[in-house]
Amino acid sequence: MRHGLFVYGTLQLPEKLQSLLGRVPSLEPATLHDYRCGLVARADFPGIVPQQDSVVNGQVLAPLDQSELEILDQYEGELYQRLRVTVMTARGPVNVWVYAIAPWARGRVTEQVWTVEDYRARKQPRWTYRY
């Protein structure tokens, strides 16, 4: 069986997907309604929690097989739960999986915005060699 996964954090990074799955599945822009994305407290990654009238921008990662989903379950860990949601894409609504913060940890999702661009900038080396 093939699956789609809505990603909004580090799983949008091709290098992260390559290291986890050994390949980079296709990525399609999408939005998830009635959820909010924020930086997880004491971490450098985002989480999403339900919030009426909010929108999360991300991408649909597909196709994934069951063994790849299990690898991603391990990567996300117990802080997240995998849920079925409907996201909007250019071709219309699509039913996919998403990793949302588990109910017991929802208080850790801050109001601070997290973007993949900011994350990349923070992870870049702060020095360069000159030859």
Q: What is the mean pLDDT of residues 89-96?
A: 97
Q: What is the mean pLDDT of residues 113-125?
A: 82
User: Would you say domain 3-121 falls under CATH 1.10.1370.20?
Assistant: no
pLDDT at residue 25 above 90? yes
- Ordered by start, the domain boundaries in the chain are 3-121
Q: Which of 76, 78, 111, 117 is catalytic?
A: 76
**Cα angle, residue 122 at apex, residues 19 and 130 outer, rounded to 5°:** 90
Q: What is the mean pLDDT of residues 90-111?
A: 97
pLDDT at residue 112 above 60? yes
Question: Does 117 participate in catalysis according to the annotation?
Answer: no
DSSP state of 116: H
What is the pLDDT, as a whole number, of residue 122?
A: 81
Please name the residues in contact with 125: beta carbons below 8 A apart, sequence gap of 6 or more: none
Burial state string for 85-118 with b = 16 or more CB within 10 A and e = fewer than 16: bebebeeeebebbbbbbbeebeebbeeeebebee
Residue 126: pLDDT band (50, 70, 90) is: low
What is the pLDDT, as a whole number, of residue 120?
A: 84
Q: CA-CA distance, 62 to 94, in Å (whole number)?
A: 11
Q: CA-CA distance, 121 to 20, in Å (whole number)?
A: 21
Cis bond upstream, residue 63 (ω within 30): yes
pLDDT at residue 127 above 50? no
What is the pLDDT, as a whole number, of residue 9?
A: 96
How far does the chain reach from its first CA to its final CA, in angstroms? 52
Q: How far is CA 92 from CA 30, 38, 87, in A?
A: 9, 26, 8
